[in-house]
Amino acid sequence: MSKSISGFSKLSKSKKIDWIVDTYFSNAEDAKNILKQYWNTDEKLQQLHDEFIENTITNYYLPLGVAPNFLINNKLYTIPMAIEESSVVAAASKAAKFWLERGGFKTTVISTTKIGQVHFIFKGDFHALKQFFAKVKPKLFEETESITKNMKKRGGGIIDIELRDKTSDIENYYQLHVSFETLDAMGANFINSCLEQFAKTFKKEALEFNLFTEEEKQIDIIMSILSNYVPNCLVRAEVSCSIEDLSDNDTISGEAFANKFVQAVKIAEVEPYRAVTHNKGIMNGIDAVVLATGNDFRAVEAGVHAYASRNGSYSSLTHAKVENGIFTFWMEIPLALGTIGGLTGLHPLVKLSLELLHKPSAKELMQIVAVAGLAQNFAALRSLTTTGIQQGHMKMHLMNILNQFEANDFEKKTLTEHFKNHTVTHSAVTEAITELRIKTNSE
Ligand SMILES: CC(C)(COP(=O)([O-])OP(=O)([O-])OC[C@H]1O[C@@H](n2cnc3c(N)ncnc32)[C@H](O)[C@@H]1OP(=O)([O-])[O-])[C@@H](O)C(=O)NCCC(=O)NCCSC(=O)C[C@@](C)(O)CC(=O)[O-]
Ligand SMILES: NC(=O)C1=CN([C@@H]2O[C@H](COP(=O)(O)OP(=O)(O)OC[C@H]3O[C@@H](n4cnc5c(N)ncnc54)[C@H](O)[C@@H]3O)[C@@H](O)[C@H]2O)C=CC1
């Protein structure tokens, strides 16, 4: 059985590794070598990565791929994508190329408001609390001045502070519900700093408020935190073309494809089991760009799925219709992203990704990310409603299976050629590589 340890965080990196490999690995030297293999040879760069998080022992690589040919509002982009799953980048690239020839993607940012809340318990009269709030509200703005002054100069800051009565949900529970404009920053730290100052001011001022009883003066702050639910930080991405232009092969007409596609989207609108997978496909594109641009994918994931459930049941994020012979496919999605702050100015590959994207503002990045999600969903639905998903996915996954067998270059070349005309499944690859090895050995 493994042991626990006290003071691990205080050990040096090399001592941490020693403890890990000695405690958990049968071959400590091998384990240590694997960890060290992923260190950067540039010590300064390694230190930068070490300091992103805590207790760092090595780097965890993900491939960074690119999907070219994205025409967004008449501007061409090559989109960086960091993801472990095969076929996602290929699918995005294929959808980009398809829509490039059909006018490209059109996007608009609908809104950019973010929310934070101070949750508190107040045992008293709501009327008195409202009076107190009216009195203290200017002070809340005043006492956060040092935090907000630069953001205000840039055109952002605190938009409004509301008092919300939540006592029908929990006894004596109220909120300060605050809206913010954080411009090119995702804003989590800015918002949290403002909220924590509101909480201090609110509590302090309550002690001096004459209309409160002694009990009412004891406002109990439970917590102050931004919300990752951002339904008013919304972007729309859309593609459309005539149904005749929709087909690029002879096996299905544009009309038949459009109808099937719209049905597939409708199913995801009404059937949660399908909607979750449908939206997972959208997140294949979104997460990959969010990660490549150093943004907080947990925040995005949480917010997006909450939005997908906003009408009471989990539903598709994308929608499609055919009207007057025109096929339209679109998505509105909440995305709180930053192109300043967090890791965006620190991680060399994030900086490179942002430069590749023409150094976007947060609003531009929202549009690019939404397009990556819409394109991904288009590619997946196109495969699902025509060839089935496995054909393309397994074609891309072939190399992973071959690597599981530690295939050499000759085997990879021969089998890639073979599977151009055969269906890729795990067992078909197993059979083919076994046969090839028997044949090669007997020669
Ligand atoms: C996989 C493809 C693209 C193959 O599609 P294909 O028609 O066999 O590809 P192709 O060889 O004819 O090439 C056409 C274009 O596709 C792209 N492409 C093609 N191959 C590559 C490659 N190796 N590397 C980079 N890009 C590639 C590329 O843009 C290329 O143009 P070119 O560069 O030649 O001018 C297609 O079958 C497809 O789009 N499939 C969908 C795959 C998918 O959605 N994968 C996500 C993982 S599955 C999942 O997690 C989600 C899901 C599906 O469950 C969601 C849902 O249910 O909704
Ligand atoms: N629940 C959550 O989502 C939480 C997330 N986080 C983390 O917080 C980080 C993001 O916080 P931020 O406050 O965005 O980053 P940050 O703390 O690095 O701040 C960015 C700062 O950049 C400055 N700035 C300069 N030019 C600007 C411009 N044009 N527009 C806007 N700001 C400009 C502002 O002072 C702003 O506060 C992420 O790493 C995230 O993972 C932290 C706590 C909770």
Domain check: are 179 and 293 in the same one? Answer: no
What domain range includes position 32?
A: 8-50
Residue ranges around ligand 1 (CB below 6 Å) = 85, 87-91, 93-94, 97, 277-278, 280-281, 284, 379-380, 383-384, 389, 392-393, 395-396
Task: Please state, in angstroms and rounded to a whole number, the distance separating the CA atoms of residues 83 and 130.
Answer: 49
User: For the chain, how are helix, strand and coil distributed in percent, rounded to 5?
Assistant: 50, 20, 30
Distance CA 379, CA 386 (A): 11
Q: Are residues 263 and 356 in the same domain?
A: yes
Query: In sequence order, what are the residues at sequence separation of 6 or more whose Cβ sits closer than 8 angstroms to the Cβ of residue 375?
Result: 67, 70, 91, 92, 95, 96, 99, 105, 285
Q: So what's the ipTM on this one?
A: 0.94
Provide the CATH number for the domain around residue 285. 3.90.770.10
User: What is the position in ligand 2's atom list of the atom closest to the CA of 150?
Assistant: 35
Look at residue 356 and tell me if it is in a domain.
yes
Say whether both 397 and 363 belong to one domain: no
Distance of CA 63 to the CA centre of its chain: 16
**Residue 218 pLDDT:** 95
Same domain membership, residue 118 and residue 104: no
Q: Which residue owns the Cα nearest ligand 1 atom 50?
A: 281
Q: Which ligand is nearest to the CA of 391?
A: 1
Distance CA 309, CA 66 (A): 31
Tokens of 422: 């055969």
Q: Is the CB of 188 under 6 A from ligand 2?
A: yes
Q: Which residues are catalytic?
A: 85, 280, 296, 393
Distance of CA 380 from the midpoint of ligand 1 (Å) = 8
Taking the C-alpha atoms of residue 422 and residue 134, their distance in angstroms, rounded to an integer, is: 72
Q: Any idea what the Cα angle at residue 172 is, between residues 170 and 175, rounded to 5°? A: 85
Among the candidates 364, 387, 410, a domain finishes at: 387
Same domain, 219 and 300: no
Q: Are residues 101 and 243 in the same domain?
A: yes
Ligand 1 test: best mutation among 85, 94, 423, most atoms within 8 Å of CB? 94
Q: Quick check: is 401 in a domain?
A: yes
Q: Determine, yes or no, domain membership for 283.
A: yes
Rounded-to-integer distance, Cα 282 and Cα 19, Å? 41
Atom number, ligand 1, closest to the C-alpha of residue 91: 39
Give the three-state DSSP class for 201.
Answer: helix
- 263 occurs within a structural domain: yes
In a domain, 159, yes or no: yes
Residues 296 and 379 in one domain: yes
Q: Which of 51, 52, 186 to mutate to test the pocket of ligand 2 (most atoms within 8 A of CB)?
A: 186
Ligand 2 neighbour 340 (Cβ under 6 A): yes
Q: H-helix or E-strand containing 264?
A: helix 254-270
**358 in the same domain as 318:** yes
CATH number where 123 lies = 3.30.70.420
Q: Is residue 56 part of a domain?
A: no
Domain count, the chain: 4
Nearest CA to ligand 1 atom 36: 392
Residue 29, in any domain of the structure: yes
Q: Whose atoms come closest to the Cα of 226: which ligand?
A: 2
- Point out the domain boundary residue: 345, 362, 387: 387
Asked if residues 283 and 296 have their Cβ atoms less than 8 Å apart, the reply is no
Query: Both 287 and 416 in a single domain?
Result: no
**Claim to verify: residue 325 and residue 308 sit in the same structural domain:** yes
- DSSP type of residue 424: -
β pairing state of 318-323 and 173-181: unpaired
270 and 246 both lie in a single domain: yes
CA–CA gap between residue 115 and residue 177 (Å, rounded): 7
The answer to whether the predicted template modeling score (pTM) of the entire model surpasses 0.90 is yes
Which residues of the chain fall short of a pLDDT of 50? none
The pLDDT assigned to 1 comes to 60
123 in Cβ contact with 143 (< 8 Å): no
Instruction: Mark whether 98 and 120 lie in a shared domain.
Output: no
CA of 158 relative to ligand 2 center, distance in Å: 14
In a domain, 258, yes or no: yes
Among all bound ligands, the one having the nearest atom to the CA of 63 is 1
